[in-house]
Amino acid sequence: MHSEVLKYEANGLHLESVLYFDESKAGKRPAVLVFPEAFGLSEHTKEKAQRLAELGYVTLANDLFGEGKTVNSMEEVMGFIGPLMQNPLNIRAYAEAGLKALLARPEVDASRIVSIGYCFGGTVSLELARGGADVKGVAGFHSGLGTVRPEDAKDIKGKVLVCIGADDPMIGPDARQAFAEEMTAGKVDWQLHLYGGVVHSFTNKQADSAGMPDAIRYSASADRRSWVSLVDFLEEIFQSE
């Protein structure tokens, strides 16, 4: 498996994202942007990107804080993403910079791109789509669903998948209903998968270390089910072409 660091800039930060692809395969192929949880470009994100690369996609695990850094405290996280949530155009700038870096690669079929993300990374992917980017689909896992620009859903070009824990206190029924109404009003091809008894960060095996089982907890079953949903989603998009 080939991997290398791609360096580019967004929002004044020097980003260092990691590209993966199977170098034994020839020709251009579909590609997937993978955006991380709010703590930055962790091993969790890289592992998901590598697994997708093993399926034949070119993948880019995206940096968030610059220089490939991760942060450890919620105070740092909220100080960073809080202002971004009030200005989705800056969130989209992260995603668009990653998309541009990916499109520049000779291995990538520029007409066949999907963006996915985990937690805040799901928000990033959704905002990329709301910004009218030419991506075939976006997927979010335990991702933030809200936006201060819901009217932009009309500009979404691709299909949308979100996978959420039904007991996630951060993405409750009101947020899910608002998202459903937003997507429907925008005439988006969308789907929402709910996992009973599951809370936030269910795809991350390190989630239990947070010591907040009622809010943040790994779920092997939801991780597996959401991965199958993602694989099916990608196959539906790319094989239908």
DSSP 119-177: THHHHHHHHHHHTT---SEEEEES-----S-GGGGGG--SEEEEEEETT-TTS-HHHHH
Cα 64 from Cα 96, distance rounded (Å):
13
Cα 106 from Cα 109, distance rounded (Å):
8
> pTM of the entire structure?
0.94
What ranges do the domains of the chain cover?
A: 2-239
pLDDT < 70: residue spans in the chain: 240-241
Predicted pLDDT of residue 240: 60
Predicted pLDDT of residue 80: 85
pLDDT in tens, 154-213: 999 999 999 999 999 999 999 999 999 999 999 999 999 999 999 999 999 998 887 888
pLDDT in tens, 177-194: 999 999 999 999 999 999
Predicted pLDDT of residue 74: 77
Q: Which fold has domain 2-239?
A: Rossmann fold (3.40.50)
What is the number of H-type helices and E-type strands within the chain?
Answer: 6, 8
Cα 137 from Cα 126, distance rounded (Å):
9
Predicted pLDDT of residue 86: 85
CA distances to 21, 25, 49, 179, 202 from 171, rounded to whole Å, are 33, 40, 24, 10, 13
